């Protein structure tokens, strides 16, 4: 525990949650890092498509391709501000589709967002590694290790809590925004004053350029423009993050979230639009192992008093690309929390850690993103085709869900609002089709295949919890246990809630002891009061003791309670602790239940006069299978 406190800091109480919320000033860098970081590679992705075909003509076409991307960004900003207004509990596109389109469309959105957030971490960290290896080519051989170290560091930062992670990651984000703004302003000013010239490349040497420029088609085509457009749409990722994490903002959370969303849009329009203009004016070609931003910064600040700004740009480009992953760490754990409460993912994702962050969701991101980085060799261009598909699927279904919302509610101003969402749905649907068509062979097929697989897993989890809940359901409490007690030992029955497993435990306890106590370790005083009221109303002839723990750690309060009871034992007496273990039919179902039984048993083994009894509670999915409408979470009925 000392090592854990050293790495993550002292634990926080439940009552400290309000102070962990994000303000507008700190919310912007946390939520905008993904969207802002796309400036580092979105323009390069456009040029990678155009320059092999049209050569220098790409620099006249690239700004034209950027205009519809910026228009779509404005539409999405307005649309997601409406989502924040009507869905203040977070979840963004998932909450919208769940209410307006139903179970399966909402699961498509959920799986798409999960994959997009994971890809955000893998792509942004790999791109950060590329920025560093551009400045220091000797490190190229170690790019996978460097990327994994970055993921580990940002994971630790987020495990330290929302407020601390915002302070750690917020300042570098602001420095990147200002330094990029300076580069754009200085670069365009120098170009206007003719103090800087376009870059030249020796005859488009195929060894220096990422793609073979000799293999080109003559002239522009609609397919080429759409391909370039789909590649540049990586600049739109991260817009949805604010609507997913509305509860993470300080009160008034909706107002603060909307302000951050508007600021995010303004910053991204300036940086992305300005960088495209500057890259086109300088005729920057995408090269192997040298990023476009690196070339622009070198050209703008070379032979000036501000030559040090090149290294500032490179350093903070790497940092912002790392911090772009922080958007996923802020949005995905909240989404997994909502899905856990809807019984679509393991319930462990609904638990907060010692620093009031959703630590299980954070560790999930770390593990999966690390596997992707290893699998793709930290190569950004190999992962980009998998990147934008998920978020654009969620964009489309979210916009269509809002159209259905306006048709259903007909709130004030719904006629013009439905046009905004309708246009947004049409544009993102077209974009989704273009992205899939252009990137399917390049790797997008993996995302298309993964969506139904992940959906099937979520449906299975939901069905499992429905079966388990049916088995534990207690309609009438009957004191069927015997009052006949044997032996003089003390017995403690651990209780989670009043259900059938508790009755089974009490029945067994009465056969081994005439001194039985029911113990409940509670994290929330409100729940303790409700449980006490329920216990008294049922008139169960067994005393109930409730131990409150403000730090969510149930192990230490439980251990302290057992030590206190053991210290009062007389010679020859002992305490028996009955622990219920939920036994499933399949080994893989165990992953859906907390394995606290193991930790309780390990802890009790330290006590000399305390024995532990594991009370198995079996369930049979066949007997517990609910009716079709009962398989849905209560909120959807």
Band (pLDDT 50/70/90 cuts) for residue 330 is confident
Instruction: Using the predicted structure, report yes or no on whether residue 311 has a pLDDT greater than 60.
Output: yes
Instruction: Using the predicted structure, report yes or no on whether residue 384 has a pLDDT greater than 70.
Output: yes
CB 169 within 8 A of CB 29: yes
Q: Report cis status (omega within 30 of 0) of the bond before 252.
A: yes
CB 351 within 8 A of CB 358: yes
Q: What is the mean pLDDT of residues 62-79?
A: 89
Listed in sequence order, the residues at least 6 apart from 332 whose beta carbon sits closer than 8 Å to its beta carbon are 113, 114, 117, 118, 361, 364, 365
For the chain, the farthest-separated pair of C-alpha atoms sits apart, in whole angstroms, at 99
Residue with tokens 């999405």: 76
Mean pLDDT score of the chain: 81
203: left (phi over 0), alpha (psi -120 to 50) or beta: left
Q: What is the mean pLDDT of residues 563-574?
A: 86
Reported as a single tens digit per residue, the pLDDT across 421-462 is: 898 888 888 888 888 887 777 777 888 888 999 999 999 999
Q: What is the mean pLDDT of residues 572-590?
A: 83
Band (pLDDT 50/70/90 cuts) for residue 626 is low
- Token pair listed for 633: 């979470």
* Rounded Cα distance, 401 and 508, in Å: 52
CB 69 within 8 A of CB 246: no
Q: To the nearest whole percent, how much of the chain has pLDDT over 90?
A: 14
Q: Which CATH superfamily hosts domain 2-463?
A: Amino acid/polyamine transporter I (1.20.1740.10)
Q: What is the mean pLDDT of residues 202-218?
A: 44
The pLDDT assigned to 111 comes to 93
Q: Parallel, antiparallel, or unpaired: how do β-strands 544-548 and 515-522 relate?
A: parallel
Q: What phi and psi, each to the nearest 5 degrees, are found at residue 549?
A: -130, 115
Give the chain's count of helices (H) and strands (E).
23, 5
Cα–Cα distances in Å, from 592 out to 346, 398, 457, 523, 555? Answer: 5, 29, 11, 21, 20
The pLDDT assigned to 215 comes to 38
The pLDDT assigned to 544 comes to 92
Q: What phi and psi, each to the nearest 5 degrees, are found at residue 607?
A: -95, 135
Q: Which residues pair with 539 in a beta bridge?
A: none
Among 335, 341, 334, residue whose Cα is nearest residue 357: 334
The pLDDT assigned to 514 comes to 86
Q: What is the signed CA dihedral for 92, 94, 97, 100, rounded to 10 degrees?
A: -70
* Rounded Cα distance, 343 and 320, in Å: 35
Cα–Cα distances in Å, from 130 out to 154, 192, 215, 371? Answer: 17, 31, 26, 18
The pLDDT assigned to 211 comes to 41
Q: Give ∠ CA 622-624-627 in degrees, rounded to 5.
A: 100
Reported as a single tens digit per residue, the pLDDT across 456-493 is: 999 999 999 888 888 877 776 665 444 444 556 789 99
Q: What is the mean pLDDT of residues 317-332?
A: 77
Q: What is the mean pLDDT of residues 570-581?
A: 86
Among 261, 269, 263, 267, residue whose Cα is nearest residue 243: 261
The pLDDT assigned to 117 comes to 86
Instruction: Please report, for the chain, the start and end positions of each structural domain, with discontinuous segments joined by +.
Output: 2-463, 490-636
* Rounded Cα distance, 231 and 47, in Å: 9
The pLDDT assigned to 107 comes to 94
Instruction: Using the predicted structure, report yes or no on whether residue 14 has a pLDDT greater than 70.
Output: no
Q: What phi and psi, each to the nearest 5 degrees, are found at residue 546?
A: -115, 125
For the domain made up of 490-636, give the CATH fold: Rossmann fold (3.40.50)
Q: What is the mean pLDDT of residues 1-6?
A: 59
DSSP string, 365-418: HHHHHHHHHHHTTT-HHHHGGGTHHHHHHHHHHHHHHHHHHHHHH--TTHHHHH
CB 369 within 8 A of CB 151: yes
Band (pLDDT 50/70/90 cuts) for residue 20 is low
Between 42-54 and 222-232, two packed helices, what is the crossing angle to 10 degrees? 160
Q: What phi and psi, each to the nearest 5 degrees, are found at residue 410?
A: 50, 50
Q: Give ∠ CA 572-576-580 in degrees, rounded to 5.
A: 175
The pLDDT assigned to 212 comes to 39
Q: Give ∠ CA 505-507-510 in degrees, rounded to 5.
A: 105
CB 614 within 8 A of CB 601: yes
The pLDDT assigned to 400 comes to 93
The pLDDT assigned to 635 comes to 43
> Worst-scoring range by mean pLDDT, 337-351, 534-548, 619-633?
619-633
Reported as a single tens digit per residue, the pLDDT across 263-308 is: 988 998 999 999 899 988 888 888 776 778 888 888 888 776 777 8
More confident residue, 166 or 343: 343
The pLDDT assigned to 482 comes to 47
Count, residues in the chain? 637
On the CB side of 367, CA atoms within 13 Å amount to 6
């Amino acid at each position: 525990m000392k090592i854990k406190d050293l790495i993550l800091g002292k634990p926080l109480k439940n009552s400290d949650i309000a102070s962990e919320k994000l303000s507008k000033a700190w919310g912007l860098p946390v939520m905008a890092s993904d969207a802002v970081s796309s400036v580092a590679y979105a323009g390069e992705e456009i040029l990678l498509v155009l320059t092999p075909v049209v050569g220098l003509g790409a620099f006249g076409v690239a700004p034209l391709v950027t205009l519809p991307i910026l228009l779509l960004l404005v539409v999405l900003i307005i649309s997601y501000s409406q989502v924040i207004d009507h869905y203040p509990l977070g979840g963004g596109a998932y909450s919208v589709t769940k209410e307006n389109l139903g179970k399966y469309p909402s699961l498509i959105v959920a799986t798409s967002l999960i994959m997009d957030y994971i890809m955000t971490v893998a792509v942004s960290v790999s791109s950060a590694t590329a920025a560093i290896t551009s400045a220091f080519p000797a490190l190229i051989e170690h790019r996978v290790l460097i990327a994994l170290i970055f993921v580990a560091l940002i994971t630790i930062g987020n495990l330290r809590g929302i407020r601390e992670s915002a302070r750690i990651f917020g300042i570098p984000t602001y420095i990147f925004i200002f330094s990029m703004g300076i580069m754009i302003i200085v670069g365009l000013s120098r170009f206007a004053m003719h103090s800087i010239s376009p870059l030249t490349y020796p005859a488009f040497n195929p060894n220096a350029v990422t793609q073979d420029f000799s293999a080109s088609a003559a002239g522009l085509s609609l397919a080429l423009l759409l391909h370039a457009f789909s590649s540049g749409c990586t600049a739109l990722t991260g817009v949805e993050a604010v609507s997913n994490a509305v509860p993470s903002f300080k009160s008034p959370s909706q107002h603060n979230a909307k302000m951050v969303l508007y600021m995010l849009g303004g910053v991204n329009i300036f940086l992305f639009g300005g960088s495209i203009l500057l890259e086109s004016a300088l005729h920057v070609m995408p090269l192997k192992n040298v990023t476009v931003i690196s070339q622009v910064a070198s050209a703008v600040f070379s032979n000036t008093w501000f030559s040090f700004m090149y290294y500032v740009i490179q350093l903070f480009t790497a940092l912002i690309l790392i911090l772009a992953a922080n958007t996923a760490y802020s949005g995905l754990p909240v989404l997994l929390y909502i899905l856990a409460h809807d019984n679509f993912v393991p319930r462990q994702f609904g638990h907060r850690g010692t620093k009031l962050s959703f630590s299980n969701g954070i560790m999930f991101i770390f593990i999966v993103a690390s596997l992707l980085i290893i699998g793709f060799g930290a190569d950004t261009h190999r992962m980009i085709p998998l990147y934008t598909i998920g978020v654009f699927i969620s964009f489309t279904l979210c916009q269509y869900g809002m159209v259905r919302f306006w048709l259903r509610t007909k709130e004030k101003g719904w006629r013009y609002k439905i046009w905004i969402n309708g246009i947004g749905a049409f544009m993102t649907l077209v974009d989704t089709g273009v992205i899939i068509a252009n990137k399917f062979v390049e790797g997008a097929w993996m995302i298309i295949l993964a969506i139904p697989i992940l959906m099937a897993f979520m449906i299975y989890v939901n069905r499992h919890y429905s079966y388990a809940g049916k088995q534990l359901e207690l309609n009438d409490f009957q004191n069927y246990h015997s009052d006949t007690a044997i032996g003089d030992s003390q017995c403690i029955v651990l209780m989670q809630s009043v259900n059938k497993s508790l009755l089974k435990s009490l029945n067994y306890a009465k056969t081994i002891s005439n001194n039985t106590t029911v113990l409940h370790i509670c994290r929330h005083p409100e729940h303790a009061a409700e449980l006490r009221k329920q216990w008294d109303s049922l008139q169960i002839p067994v005393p109930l003791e409730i131990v409150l723990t403000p730090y969510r750690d149930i192990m230490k309060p439980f251990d302290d309670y057992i030590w206190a009871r053991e210290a009062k034992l007389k010679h020859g007496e002992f305490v028996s602790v009955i622990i219920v273990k939920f036994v499933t039919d399949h080994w893989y179902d165990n992953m859906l239940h907390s394995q606290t039984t193991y930790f309780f048993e390990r802890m009790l083994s330290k006590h000399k006069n305390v024995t532990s009894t594991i009370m198995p509670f079996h369930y049979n999915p066949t007997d517990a299978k609910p009716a079709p409408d009962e398989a849905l979470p209560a909120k959807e009925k």
